[in-house]
Amino acid sequence: MNSLPSSNPVTEWLIFLVILVPICLVLAGFVVWLTVIRPKRKKSRKKHHHDGRTNPTLARTNGLPPKRDPNMPPHGL
């Protein structure tokens, strides 16, 4: 006796559909997740805010610093 099922066209189509339907459902779920459920990401540029943390200009500090005493060693020595 043959243990394999008979090759009936209806049986072959049923096996094909049993394999194809779950694959289509997974793909459809992925497409729905991709387009609807997943949060949309906006491309944003970093905004540079100038908050005055740079070195002040001479105009902001009321001009040049006082002259250094020639007998004093340079700063950092």
Classified as helix, coil or strand, 64 is: coil
Whole-number pLDDT of residue 6? 61
22 domain residue, yes or no: yes
Whole-number pLDDT of residue 31? 92
Whole-number pLDDT of residue 52? 60
Whole-number pLDDT of residue 27? 96
65 domain residue, yes or no: no
30 domain residue, yes or no: yes
**Number of domains making up the chain:** 1
Whole-number pLDDT of residue 14? 92
45 domain residue, yes or no: no
DSSP 51: -
Whole-number pLDDT of residue 24? 97
24 domain residue, yes or no: yes
Model confidence, pTM:
0.42
Domain interval for residue 20:
9-37
CB 11 within 8 A of CB 4: no
Whole-number pLDDT of residue 22? 95
59 domain residue, yes or no: no
Residues with pLDDT less than 50, the chain: 1
19 domain residue, yes or no: yes
User: Could you tell me how many residues make up the chain?
Assistant: 77
71 domain residue, yes or no: no
